[in-house]
């Protein structure tokens, strides 16, 4: 075992996180679920979602047998909903192609939806006590600083270098503890703002020796401002207070979830169709990874709708009238939930 791994494991025994819910026990389904939830999401945010998921779906087979709407309902508010769809699809694949037994090989894990090379390595190490190589954002930051790598981490050549370094430091024993240790170090001490005073690797870290902790890893050139997309969101409310919702397409924003219909606007189409005669609510913004969505809710209240008129509004199989005081099938995106809470108080 090299000194990098040994120092990291010694530090972990004293200061590492050992009370995370997916560590007790470290079994494949729990580890996998946590790894997917932790992608682009902090531990403190994930824990309550993780616990709710396990209450509803205690095994991979119970998840596979569930309806996607049930899964999305528990995921609502966690964001990046493609993760939930991949989670469900992977559970079905485990049920149908692996006889309900979670696979342990790198190749089989990477063959599941939503699992890449690093996530597969994390699952192998923590759930199966196999040598699994991890190179998530936290680990990249640790390695770039420790080895003084001054090239962009996303560069293909640098990626190859980082995978080789990650492999060379990963020990042939204590797999689960090492995986948690290096992820913990990157999340706590070797975070974006480094806390070098208590870092176990300080003595041999090139970035610390050269006082370059804040420079490394190299960041890409500042991105241009995110584009803004404009939309009207049509809030259609019947005389009993129900809101019309329709299921979004499987891909794209809020994929597979229920949402009021909305129309993207162009500069020369600021008022469209159903917005005429509606009440315009204040504009609000929701930020996605690649763009800002600025949308204006347009509230249109109907009274005295006949069954025929109601059915005409429900012009698709995925549309329904939703009671604001009941849970929505499949859950609601966070900004829609917030909007509906405001409507209840109007």
Residue written as token pair 């998921």? 53
- Contacts (Cβ under 8 Å, ≥6 apart) of 84: 71, 72, 75, 78
Q: Is the bond preceding residue 39 a cis peptide, omega within 30 degrees?
A: no
Pairing type for strands 262-265 and 279-280 reads: unpaired
CA distances from 140 to 133, 147, 277 (A): 12, 11, 54
Q: Which value, in Å, is the radius of gyration of the alpha carbons in the chain?
A: 24
SS3 140: helix
Nearest to 186 by CA among 250, 137, 232: 137
CB 180 within 8 A of CB 12: yes
Give the catalytic positions in this structure.
Answer: 35
Residue written as token pair 């070797």? 190
SS3 114: coil
Backbone angles phi, psi at 207, to 5 degrees: -60, -40
CB 126 within 8 A of CB 26: yes
Relative orientation angle of helices 28-37 and 117-128, to the nearest 10 degrees: 140
SS3 313: helix
Backbone angles phi, psi at 184, to 5 degrees: -65, -45
SS3 127: helix
Residue written as token pair 């698709």? 316
* Run of H or E including 129: none
């Amino acid at each position: 075992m090299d000194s990098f791994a040994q120092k990291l494991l010694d530090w972990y025994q004293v200061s590492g996180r050992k009370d995370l819910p997916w560590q007790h026990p470290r079994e494949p389904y729990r580890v996998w679920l946590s790894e997917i939830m932790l992608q682009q999401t902090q531990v403190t945010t994930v824990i309550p979602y993780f616990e709710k998921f396990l209450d509803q779906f205690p095994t991979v087979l119970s998840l596979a047998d569930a309806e996607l709407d049930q899964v999305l309902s528990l995921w609502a508010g966690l964001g990046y909903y493609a993760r939930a769809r991949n989670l469900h699809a992977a559970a079905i694949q485990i049920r149908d192609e692996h006889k309900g037994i979670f696979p342990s090989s790198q190749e089989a894990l990477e063959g599941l939806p939503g699992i890449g090379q690093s996530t597969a390595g994390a699952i192998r190490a923590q759930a199966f006590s196999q040598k699994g190589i991890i190179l998530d954002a936290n680990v990249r930051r640790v390695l770039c600083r420790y080895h003084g790598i001054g090239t962009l981490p996303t560069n293909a050549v640098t990626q190859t270098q980082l995978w080789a370094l990650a492999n060379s430091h990963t020990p042939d024993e204590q797999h689960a503890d090492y995986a948690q240790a290096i992820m913990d170090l990157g999340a706590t001490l070797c975070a974006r703002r480094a806390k070098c005073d208590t870092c176990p690797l300080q003595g041999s870290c090139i970035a610390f020796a050269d006082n370059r902790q804040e420079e490394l890893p190299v960041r890409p050139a500042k991105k241009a401002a995110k584009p803004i997309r404009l939309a009207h969101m049509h809030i259609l409310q019947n005389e009993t207070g129900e809101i019309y919702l329709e299921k979004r397409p499987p891909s794209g924003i809020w994929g597979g979830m229920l949402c009021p219909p909305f129309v993207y606007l162009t500069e020369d189409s600021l008022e469209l169709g159903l917005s005429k005669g509606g009440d315009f609510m204040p504009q609000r913004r929701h930020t996605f990874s690649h763009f800002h969505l600025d949308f204006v809710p347009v509230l249109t209240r109907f009274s005295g709708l006949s069954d025929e008129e109601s059915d005409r509004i429900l012009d698709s199989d995925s549309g329904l009238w939703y009671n604001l005081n009941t849970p929505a099938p499949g859950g609601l995106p966070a900004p829609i939930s917030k909007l509906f809470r405001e409507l209840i108080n109007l």
